[in-house]
Amino acid sequence: MTRPTPSARAVRAPGADVDLAIVGGTVVPMVRNARDTLRATVLVRDGRIVGLTRERRPKAREVIDATGKLVMPGFVNAHCHGIHLLMRGLSDGLRYHDWLEQLMYRALPAYRAQDALVASNLFCAEAIRSGITTIGDSTDFGNRADLVEATLAGIDAAGLRALYFRNFSDAPPRALRANREPAGRALADIEALIARRATRNPLVRIGAGVNEPHFVTPGAFRRAVDLVEAHDTRLMVHLAEVEADVLIDGVNVVDWMRQHRLLSPKLVAAHCVWLRPPQLRKLAAARVSITWQPSTNAFLADGVMPLRDVLAAGITVGLGTDDSNASDHVNMFTEMRTGAMVTKLRERDGTAVSPDTMLAIATRGGARVLGLDAEVGAISVGRAADLIVIDLAQLAPFQDLASALVYQATGAEVETVVIGGRVVMRDRVLITLDEVKLRREAAKAAAGVVERGGVGGPRRDASTDAGKHLFADAS
Ligand SMILES: [Zn+2]
């Protein structure tokens, strides 16, 4: 099972002066595939991996004993909205557009900065617990500077790596009119945020975001593309998540975007559930990348993204947990499992996707989508030390490591998480955040949002579907 990867062979022991050493583990570098492993000590200095050696007693300031454990790159949650976590439990039983208009567009304006801070913190805590080290996060109401700043403060405090997409809409639908802001002002604000954050926290970078292509004017969209190209960052847009969003002005949304010169290698298209091979080939030709959110797509009954077609077109794809209130989890293990299962179901083919591909999507794919592939997504010398340690004993018995990680693991097996060389969870104990306190505060904050937003109300029960007879006493 132990075969050195090309990156491992090239490594030289760099001496003993390191900040952190992870000793005795089985390393999955994710360099060539998900099955090559090696027994190695991972050496970390100044936040970066500086060696993969056989040394068992390195002189390190901090040592993590990973004997009997797996050392993997941390997961990249390429598309998420962390602060939506406070609205958990409110989305079930709503159809997509009702979900947007009756819940999201009402509850989000009711957020206060403190709510966003607590939600962002708790989201990060859950992310770290299941081995996520990088997020591609955004706040739907990008024009609310207080929410943007609070969200970023939450990520900073947690110690997560992030590309934060500052959203804007200059032509939103009526139900979202509180989100409207002039394009010039929004784009200037995004540039100011990029400049302001440039020296604040090297782990967190800024991109731009557009909720939907038809929520902005084509001119504003084009200027946003220019902005992210000039700053070498990314522009996130939700694309064809539901069938109703496939056409704009009677034209397929991909063709509409091509006509307006909006396709760019810096563009990240979230969902793409309803795109077919001709459109996917156009995205591929423009080197647009995709993030896939199978749990949200299932929860909201959007449909199943055609992963096989996306991969066949040669598109880079990452995986995301999306709205933490529309699937109600923040966990890349369950995301991989759901993604693999809905893909097999869609294709009615048990060979439709391999666990290796799912693991690559959840790590290297997401890193490339966010423009961070030189930094994260794999374990090699020179990359950032974003690493997770998994207790293999909790997966026993298993025959195939990749398959076990995709189908058996729940996230509870993640023991230790390192981001940029800093240990943020050790032996299941969060270092940067107080989860118990956060849960208490989040419960209070959620109650406030529900009350001020006027959301909540009666939920579905068995009387609204065909399950009522199951509660009747047997005769
Ligand atoms: Zn989203």
Which pLDDT score is estimated for 13?
45
Query: CB atoms < 10 A from the CB of 247, how many?
Result: 15
| pLDDT at position 331 over 70 | yes
Cα 238 from Cα 291, distance rounded (Å): 9
Cα 385 from Cα 51, distance rounded (Å): 11
Distance 261 CA to ligand 1 centre (A): 23
Angle at CA of residue 388, ends 387 and 392, nearest 5°: 140
pLDDT, tens only, 121-169: 999 999 999 999 999 999 989 999 999 999 999 999 999 999 999 999 9
Distance 87 CA to ligand 1 centre (A): 14
Q: Which parts of 105-182 fold into alpha helices (H)?
A: 105-107, 113-129, 145-158
| pLDDT at position 424 over 70 | yes
Which pLDDT score is estimated for 324?
86
Cα 223 from Cα 212, distance rounded (Å): 15
Which pLDDT score is estimated for 290?
98
Which pLDDT score is estimated for 466?
81
**Structure tokens of 96?**
């997509």
Which pLDDT score is estimated for 6?
37
CA terminus-to-terminus distance, the chain: 58
Residue showing tokens 């492993």? 37
Q: Are 272 and 310 in contact (CB under 8 A)?
A: yes
Distance 31 CA to ligand 1 centre (A): 29
Lowest mean pLDDT among 29-33, 265-269, 390-394: 29-33
Element (H, E) at 438: helix 435-453
Which pLDDT score is estimated for 8?
37
pLDDT exceeding 90 applies to what percent of the chain? 87
Backbone φ, ψ for residue 40 (5° rounding) = -155, 155
| pLDDT at position 18 over 90 | yes
Q: Are 77 and 319 in contact (CB under 8 A)?
A: yes
How high does pLDDT run on average in the chain? 94
Confidence label for 10 from pLDDT (cuts 50, 70 and 90):
very low
Q: Are 434 and 32 in contact (CB under 8 A)?
A: no
Ranges of beta strands (E only) in 33-155 are 38-45, 48-53, 60-65, 69-73, 75-81, 132-139
Average pLDDT over every residue of 4-9: 38
Distance 81 CA to ligand 1 centre (A): 6
pLDDT, tens only, 358-401: 999 999 999 999 999 999 999 999 999 999 999 999 999 999 99
Distance 139 CA to ligand 1 centre (A): 9
pTM: 0.95
| pLDDT at position 217 over 90 | yes
Structural domains of the chain sorted by starting position, each given as residue range(s) with its CATH number in brackets: 6-72+385-430 (2.30.40.10), 75-369 (3.20.20.140)
Which pLDDT score is estimated for 93?
86
pLDDT exceeding 70 applies to what percent of the chain? 96
The DSSP annotation for 282-336 comes to HHHHTT-EEEE-HHHHHHTT-----HHHHHHTT--EEE--EETTSS----HHHHH
Distance 281 CA to ligand 1 centre (A): 23
Highest mean pLDDT among 3-12, 108-117, 322-331: 108-117
Distance 166 CA to ligand 1 centre (A): 13
42 versus 465: the higher-pLDDT residue is 42
Q: Three-state SS for 400? A: coil
Distance 394 CA to ligand 1 centre (A): 32
Q: Which parts of 159-252 fold into alpha helices (H)?
A: 183-197, 218-230
Which pLDDT score is estimated for 459?
67
